[in-house]
Amino acid sequence: MKREAYRSIDVKQVFVESFVADKAGIAAVVGLDVAKSEFMATVRWSDGRFERPWRAKNPEEIPDMIHRLQRLVEGRSLVVAMESTGTYGDAMRQALTDAKLTVNRVSGKAVHDYAEIFDGVPSQHDGKDAAMVAELSSMGKSSPWPYEPLTEFDQELRYLVERMDIQQRIGMLWMGRLESLLARHWPEATRYLELNSETLLQVLVEYGGPAALTADAKAAKRLKAWGGPFLKSEKIERFLQVSASSVGVRQTAVDRRRIQECAQALLLAKHEVQKASKTLEKLAQGNAIIARQAAVVGWATACVLWVYLGNLANYHGAEAYRKAMGLNLKERSSGRYQGQLKITKRGPGAVRRWLYFAAMRLVQHSHVVEWYEVKKGQRAKGGKRALIAVMRKLTLGLYVVGVGEEPFDARRLFSPTVGKRSRSGIRQAKKDEKKQRQGV
């Protein structure tokens, strides 16, 4: 590109007729770089020439931009390309679709990686980004992206999923805070009752600490009412005994109030998640794909997958489905340096978070736990990596189940024969290590 080619001009000062006079019939691609307060548009002609970027305010000058693009499309093929990041460009995308202009999407990662190839300089700025979007689209590195309103079902599903996910994240925040407070003032509490259990949260809301609990003569009766048939009398008695002799830091009135408020906030978030999950189940029962996946990972996770990844029919295979979750592997190795395989973490993080919880539940399955333990033992502190491996396999199974090819079978997905081979390899490695130590 020419020197100062990125210097922008105001969209109101653009006169389309002045620079298209000698380009009759030449196809063009317009690259858009959208920010919160403004956006840039760069025209790239099919012969490789660029126009200077047009600068417009977002959203005030969207009509001015649309008017000039409509003049530009007269007598030629025109594609408007945008990056797929954020929501600041949704109003522009809708206006382009309403104006019957062709809208394509270019990956933001592709734009980032193309920066130095484009002009030999790795820097990025709005004018250059718009030009790169246009060039990548002209190279075929884009896909159709017209604005299409969600169906009423998808709108309601997205609303409930987002609400549930937000409450779940808020609950995790309060749970972390509550765990630290209990470690200081009541460390014995979580040895007998789960931190996220309804019973312990009710105890914390009611009493706020061990002193108030042991001072209540009706504490055992209340614990039984909160815990129900799953909380045995022996466990209640032992919990009261250790609470009476707690070695935690003595609480002040403020300490008690802090714990009570944290527990109340966590309990409220937990109830909101449960409420949203039940509503999602009622809403999504008529969707065959969600129902089949829900039989494996639960209704909440299945609805999260549908909202963030869309219909399985949009994917050509299970690997593409897994890639959309950011669970495909990447490698950085060269020469003597051999890097570890890691997941790309592309795509929506909410999908990976909910699948991680689903994998934690799945490893308790009798047909999965053996495979998981073998995978976990292949390296020190390999529990998290083993869970990610379960997630990656689970994703393939969810795709097969979702398209209705066959029912989910954990025994086939986590074959015991793989585990036996792995265990024999681990035993042999330990024998070799022992021989080396004896030799030394």
Domain ranges of the chain: 9-144, 153-281, 291-439
Six token digits for residue 217? 């003569």
Q: What is the DSSP string of 410-435?
A: HHHHT-HHHHHHHHHHHHHHHHHHHH
State pTM to two decimals.
Answer: 0.85
Question: Looking at this protein, which amino acid is placed at residue 194?
Answer: E
Name the token pair of 172: 């995790």
Q: Provide the pLDDT for residue 435.
A: 53
Q: Please, which contacts does 371-380 make with residues 24 or more away whose CB atoms are closer than 8 Å?
A: 371/414, 371/415, 371/416, 371/418, 371/419, 372/414, 374/418, 374/419, 374/422, 374/423, 374/426, 375/422, 377/426, 378/422, 378/426
Q: Which residues of the chain have pLDDT under 70?
A: 1-4, 416-440
Tokens 């649309």 correspond to what residue? 66
pLDDT at 423: 46
Report pLDDT for 432: 54
Indicate the helix (H) or strand (E) that contains 115.
helix 115-119
- Cα 258 to Cα 178, 240, 272: the distances in Å are 9, 22, 21
Q: Which contiguous run of DSSP H or E holds residue 366?
A: helix 366-376
Q: How confident is the model at residue 381, as a pLDDT?
A: 78
Alpha-carbon torsion angle 273, 275, 280, 283, nearest 10: -170
Q: How confident is the model at residue 421, as a pLDDT?
A: 45
Q: Rounded distance, CA 278 to CA 272, Å?
A: 10
In whole angstroms, give the CA distance from residue 77 to residue 30. 11
Q: Given this model, what pLDDT does residue 353 score?
A: 95
Contacts for 262 with CB less than 8 Å, ≥ 6 apart: 174, 177, 178, 181, 204
Task: Please name the fold of domain 9-144.
Answer: Nucleotidyltransferase; domain 5 (3.30.420)
pLDDT at 417: 55
Q: How far apart are CA 229 and CA 237, in angstroms?
A: 15
- Please report the pLDDT score of residue 366 as a whole number: 80
Which alpha helices (H) appear in 377-414, and where do they start and end?
383-402, 410-413
Domain 153-281 has CATH 1.10.287.4070: yes
The backbone region for 4, taken as left when phi is positive above 0, alpha when psi lies in -120 to 50, beta otherwise, is: left
The predicted structure's pLDDT at residue 185: 96
